[in-house]
Structure 1
């Protein structure tokens, strides 16, 4: 028979203890030393068990620390924010570069248009001046002084005819000079148009060799040149193909150099 450690060793008034009194005694009495020693042993062996903290759980079964979660979330949020800011800066730089390239292209087209207008004005300036002079002379030309009337004699008629012939000869010379000037201008204009057409054709041919358009921005031209260098560089080709690769590499570099010279004019 096992005796409870809190059971009284000797009933107080009678040899047979009342069950109700015995229960009251067990609940109100202080625990004995053996029970205290047993609890200490349990706490020593199982440090995670604490009967006096019912809401406490062992560390291995508890949720992650809120502070560490908050720190990791803040670090992750800071990383995402830094990436967004970097992407925004790159996009702004790219847009600014594109705007500069477009402005440069518009300025170049405006300058070339002004140059063409100036060249065309200089080209036709002499012809316009000759036409104006001839027109003013023709407006002032008058044959009323050579009209023959009844009182004129035969000698007067001869003088009138000679004067009219001389005036007609001057007008003829002026017309011939004007026509010659216009013919020279026409030939010069045709030559310039031919030269410009050849230059445009040569320019377009150079750009077609590298797969670009003549109005492409500078950064695209530089990127294409770098890509062609990586593709055709002899060091990156097999030994059997290096001769052909070197030839194509030199041709491509010469094409890009010609394009750069055209753009620098």
Structure 2
């Protein structure tokens, strides 16, 4: 097993004064593909947003590549794909401009050079959007928006890819493109932590499943297998909260999802 790339120890977090994570322990090793599963409100998205510093931690520690997150500065090593939102955040922009913003963490003095432009083109090719490079993102479908978000993350050529429900509300054609793209990244050695409601087309890639419930780790081990891709969970206290494997389309862009910015955490 490779070295730890992500390490959470006893992590707690609150949102609006309400505990969302309660003593979460999670380690993702180099080269692993780990799926974070659980019902709505279980803490999945909060956990990964805590990893990248968007949510403050009230207890415990988080490390990235062996460095405490508060002291971690090598964000070019990390690609982050948020839940699907309007790619430009309401700002007029082309597909290339959005994807190029993901390369700025590697660009010298914020100036894109030949190698940077080549990386942007390659990222667009990987997600099947090279032919839309000059188009406005406002003209894209939902699935194409998601491809742009993923290309933006891939442009930095990250060692670690963190994705928050990349398949939610995405058409079948884009699901296949995204699954093929992620498969190629995994073959190249990229470490992946991905939030999912159901395994779907990513099932063959998943090494481990970590199931959260009420902000705690319920299961950490082999992923659910089979046609339904379900995982047996205790009865939910809220029947409105679905479980992994259900047929679900996640709401688009919750209010607290931030628009794309230049760089991972700018």
TM-score range, shorter chain: under 0.3
Asked which structure has the greater CA Rg, the reply is 1
Q: Identify the structure with bigger relative contact order (alpha carbons < 8 Å, sequence gap 6+).
A: 2
Higher helix share: 1
With normalisation by structure 1, the TM-score equals: 0.21
With normalisation by structure 2, the TM-score equals: 0.21
